[in-house]
Structures are given as structure tokens and as C-alpha cells.
């Protein structure tokens, strides 16, 4: 057994004289609030049973445990450094996520993390995980910032948008938020969208299918990009949503003149351990729980996203 794995196992099992919980031991968090975003999406507000608030960066994820059922990788939807509980926005698509969504206020779930890379728009401007040394990737600097979110993909981006809007108030670049959803009733974070617009961000929402009373845009997010108003020659773009949507969005952005090296996407594969041990989240040379989920689109990622998996 490799030495680092052995150390981690000893730490995790409390053996070897190290009583600290290891990375595979969930910390207990109590549900202190819950909000139904749509008919199948719930935001949970969590507070640690023991200890202080979690330090994380926008784009990172935690492994959430529904005890007796299982774990799921869920991105943090809070804003780093903001007061208040830790928030996770969960879509009920399987037994674990359904159980998480149904957890009543007062009950306890498990939280392991945070894991993975971030969007690179926080104060420290790094793509590296919190505990790792800076990756060497270029930090986000000036120009326009464009956030493109599809469906629940807005959840991992919420904190980043808050940070970008705050940065804009301090003289940073313009912020453009383009959100796509299946239908108007499936749009999440209405309050945030309105707050960002009031704070000066350019916010555009479009849906695939209209519903009675909807007077907004109908069409793909890619159809909105051209009229959004950002400068493609000096834009950093953060994209999160279904992988097909991210592929088409990235291609459209590049066709419109955005530098591929300034496009970042959030990738996901079967996150299980969250600490690069099990290999289930491998995508090419990446273990996405460690090297992602946020990765630069240019280069190998653009190639990998077109590979047909067997």
C-alpha cells in the first residue's frame, strides 16, 4: 500500500495515534434551512454540529452523505466568506439526492470536503484546491466576465457571480450572466438573478420551452450570447451545465472570437471518493475530483469532450 494512502487510512480509522477525522470521515452538519427552488431542486442550508464554518472556494464541491443510503458529490452554492450557513443546491435524480432533498430541518447529514479546483475568481485568484500549492494556471484578471449556466449548473456558479459582482463594484470588469433552463418554472435563484441585475450585472434568462405568462426569451443559451453585449476579444467565460450544452457553448464562444484559453468549464464524472483514490472520476489524464471539476476548456479538455466513451 502506498505510504500516503496508508497514512490516510490510519488517520481515517483513528489508528496509529492520530485521532483527527480523515478525509473519508464525514463531518456532521445539521439542516438549518431548506428552500424548494423548483419541483425537484432543493437548497439545503447547513450548519456544522461541531466546529466553525467551512473554508471553500467557488466551484468546489463536497461529498454529502444521506446516512444509510449513500454519498453524492454536490457543488457548494454558497458564496465564499459570506456569513450564514453552508448551502448546497441538490436536484433529486436518484436515491441519495432524493434523500438529501427530503432531509427535514433539524436532521443531520454528512459533509466531506471541500474538494476540487475552483473558478479562479476569488480573492486569491488561483485554480488550485485550497490545500494545494498554486497550480500555475493564469489567475483571472481584467476584461469582461461572462457566466453561462444551464439548468442546475447555476448552483456551482452562484458564489462566483457574487464575487464577480462585488469585484465590479470595486472597479473590476463587467459581468454578464446568461442562464438557460428547460422552462420558466425550472429557473432557479430568482432572487439572486434580480439582485445581480440591480447591482449592474447584465442578466439574460432563456428557456427551451415557454409556459403561459412567460414574456422572456425562448431559445438556447447559445442564441443569447451574440446579443449579450460582452467583448469577445477580452472576456473570461465560466460555463456550467449539461456537458452537451457546455460543448456547444464553448464552440459558439470560440467562433465569436473568445480566446479558448479563457474559457473554463465544470466537468463531472462518477465522483466517489473525492480524493483521487478510487479512479472512478477519471477523464483522460485527469482525476476530476482533484484536477477538476473546474478545468480550462482549451487543449486536451476540448478534445476529451468529443471522445465517444465506451
User: What residue spans of 75-127 are helical by DSSP H?
Assistant: 95-101
- Segment contacting other proteins by CB under 8 A, of 45-53, 155-163, 206-214, 280-288: 206-214
Least distance in Å: CB of 301 to other proteins? Answer: 16
Asked whether position 254 contacts other proteins by CB under 8 A, the answer is no
Q: Which is nearer to other proteins, 46 or 245 (CB)?
A: 245
Going across the sheet that includes 175-181, the strands are 217-218, 202-207, 175-181, 144-150, 235-240, 263-266, 294-296
Least CB distance from residue 243 to other proteins, whole Å?
6
Which of 113, 122, 156, 180 binds other proteins (CB under 8 A)? It is 180
**Using rule CB under 8 A, residue 226 touches other proteins:** yes
Q: What is the per-residue DSSP string for 241-285?
A: S-HHHHHHHHHHHHHTT--GGGEEEE-----SSSSSSS-TTEETT
Query: Smallest distance, Å, CB 271 to other proteins?
Result: 15
Name every residue whose Cβ is closer than 8 Å to that of residue 128 and which is 6 or more positions away in sequence. 117, 134, 135, 137
Dist CA 58 CA 240 (whole Å): 12
CB 168 within 8 A of CB 177: no
Least CB distance from residue 52 to other proteins, whole Å?
Answer: 36
Q: Could you say whether residue 249 binds other proteins (CB under 8 A)?
A: no
**Which residue spans within 1-77 are E strands per DSSP?**
27-36, 41-48, 61-66, 70-75
Residues 131-160 contacting other proteins, CB under 8 A = 150-152
Q: Nearest approach, Cβ of 195 to other proteins (angstroms)?
A: 23
Residue 227 touching other proteins (CB under 8 A): yes
Q: Which is nearer to other proteins, 8 or 99 (CB)?
A: 99
Judged by CB under 8 A, the stretch of 108-116, 122-130, 208-216, 285-293 that binds other proteins is 208-216
Amino acid at each position: 500500500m502506498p505510504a500516503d494512502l496508508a497514512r490516510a487510512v490510519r488517520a481515517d480509522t483513528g489508528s496509529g495515534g492520530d485521532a483527527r477525522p480523515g478525509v473519508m470521515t464525514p463531518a456532521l452538519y445539521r439542516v438549518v434551512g431548506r428552500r424548494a427552488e423548483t419541483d425537484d431542486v432543493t437548497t439545503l442550508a447547513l450548519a456544522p454540529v461541531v466546529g466553525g464554518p467551512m473554508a471553500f472556494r467557488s466551484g468546489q464541491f463536497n461529498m454529502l452523505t444521506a446516512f444509510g443510503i449513500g454519498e453524492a458529490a454536490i457543488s457548494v452554492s454558497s458564496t465564499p466568506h459570506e456569513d450564514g450557513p453552508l448551502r448546497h443546491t441538490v436536484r433529486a435524480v436518484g436515491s441519495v439526492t432524493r434523500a438529501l432533498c427530503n432531509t427535514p430541518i433539524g436532521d443531520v447529514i454528512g459533509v466531506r470536503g471541500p474538494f476540487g479546483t475552483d473558478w479562479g475568481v476569488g480573492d486569491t485568484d488561483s485554480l488550485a484546491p485550497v490545500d494545494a500549492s498554486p497550480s500555475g494556471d493564469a489567475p483571472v484578471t481584467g476584461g469582461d466576465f461572462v457566466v453561462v449556466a444551464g439548468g442546475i449548473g447555476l448552483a456551482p456558479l452562484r458564489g462566483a457571480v457574487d464575487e464577480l459582482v462585488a469585484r465590479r463594484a470595486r472597479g473590476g470588469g463587467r459581468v454578464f450572466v446568461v442562464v438557460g433552463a428547460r422552462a420558466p418554472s425550472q429557473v432557479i435563484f430568482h432572487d439572486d438573478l434580480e439582485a445581480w441585475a440591480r447591482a449592474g450585472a447584465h442578466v439574460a434568462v432563456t428557456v427551451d420551452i415557454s409556459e403561459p405568462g412567460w414574456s422572456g426569451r425562448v431559445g438556447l443559451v447559445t442564441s443569447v450570447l451574440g446579443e449579450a453585449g460582452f467583448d469577445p476579444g477580452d472576456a473570461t467565460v465560466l460555463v456550467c451545465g449539461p456537458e452537451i450544452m457546455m460543448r456547444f457553448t464553448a464552440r459558439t464562444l470560440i467562433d465569436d472570437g473568445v480566446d479558448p484559453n479563457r474559457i473554463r468549464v465544470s466537468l463531472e464524472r462518477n465522483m466517489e471518493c473525492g480524493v483521487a483514490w478510487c479512479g472512478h472520476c477519471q477523464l483522460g489524464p485527469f482525476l476530476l475530483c482533484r484536477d477538476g471539476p473546474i478545468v480550462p476548456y482549451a487543449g486536451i479538455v476540448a478534445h476529451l469532450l468529443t471522445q465517444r466513451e465506451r
